[in-house]
Amino acid sequence: MAVHKWRKRPTKHFGDSWVPFAQIELTSQSNKSQTFAVQIDSGAVVSLLRKSVADLLDIELESGKKIDVSSVGGAKTIAYIHELQTRFDDNIVYPVPYAIADTENVPNLLGRLAIFDHLQINFDGTMQETTISSPWLEPDERRIWEYLIETEKYILDRYKETEFSNITKKAAVGFLNRASSTIASLVGLKKEHSTYAAPALIRSLLELALQFEYLMQKPEERSQQYIDYSHVSKYKFTSAVANNPTGFVSRRLANSTKRAEGEKRNQDAYDKVKNNFLIKLKNNKTREASNWYKMTVRKLAEELGRVGEYRLIYAACSKWAHGDPDSTVSDSSQPFTNPPIVFQLCIGYHARMLLNFADAGKIILSAEQDDYLKQLAKGIS
């Protein structure tokens, strides 16, 4: 990913202003190359160069197609179109058409044509820099992503019409929202070309998908169980924070005038449900479940027939998250940091959860939607 610092340029009425620039290497057909600083102008259709660029690169200016280039004020400049090999960084090199003017009275600038539709360009005014990188989605990936989002909207628009109880709707939408935010984080990593940080999020998404599939097998019964366990989680967390003040937030809660009232409310809610989450041990002893589904993630995967995914995806991502020696040797050797694999897992789990929701809620999908989701979900099986 190429990072280009902006430059200050004077304006007529507002003093100096930061302007996006990029350093690019241009190569002519005669194999002459030179690096130029060019202003990035999203308002310009075609990229523009001064006459001196043609001289430096041994380009016969008038051999190109002649055009008129109009400025904002309406003035016209004669220019000639020439295609030049353009290097944005070591990984991004391809031919771009440029209008080379017959005068020096124009700026060197990058316009939209063959730039903004080929590259991912991010402007950061807070850092006065621009990053230029390859597209985060290939054309086929973009079509898949857009159709998946359309299908998700179709399903969620109809969830209120399902026969689910309010508590099931609350649990289901909570799961889907959490999954969407996790997927958005993974997509953000791919967009920033930073998928080396993806395994921890993939593991989280896999857990969400497994839990949601389990919940949707018996939606009414398990949704109540899921919601009830929130009282256990809240009780354990608030007790730990209030009784072990180690920082500003915990000390504030411990010293709050509403502490007694809050603790009683949490205790009452916890007492109503705690017996539902006791697991029998040997010698007639019990322990409190550590999650709402009352089993390990591995057991949950086995229950759903997903043990293969657990052994491959969950184990590998956990190894990365826990700093296993094998995971620290080389990021490039880790499959779940590979951008295409990250994308495939994102859309696969997304599709599976939507199918679970649609099937349990008896939401009728078109044959195309149903087949599409099944094909995407099949990719992670």
The verdict on 360 and 264 lying in the same domain is yes
Final residue belonging to a domain, choices 133, 164, 198: 133
pLDDT digits (tens, 9 = 90+) for 323-345: 888 776 655 567 899 999 999 99
The verdict on 162 and 63 lying in the same domain is no
pTM of the model: 0.83
**pLDDT at position 72 over 80:** no
Q: What is the pLDDT of residue 335?
A: 84
pLDDT digits (tens, 9 = 90+) for 76-116: 889 999 999 999 998 899 999 999 999 999 999 999 999 99
**Count of domains for the chain:** 2
**pLDDT at position 379 over 90:** no
At 74, the pLDDT band (50, 70, 90 cuts) reads: low
The verdict on 327 and 197 lying in the same domain is yes
Q: What is the pLDDT of residue 329?
A: 62
Q: What is the pLDDT of residue 331?
A: 55
The verdict on 127 and 146 lying in the same domain is no
Q: What would the two tokens of residue 33 be?
A: 């190359």
Percent of the chain past pLDDT 90, that is, above it, reads 72
The domain in which residue 28 lies consists of: 2-133
* Residues 6+ away with beta carbon under 8 Å from 106: 48, 49, 50, 69, 77
Q: What is the pLDDT of residue 332?
A: 55
The verdict on 180 and 288 lying in the same domain is yes
Q: What is the pLDDT of residue 319?
A: 87
Q: What is the pLDDT of residue 261?
A: 84
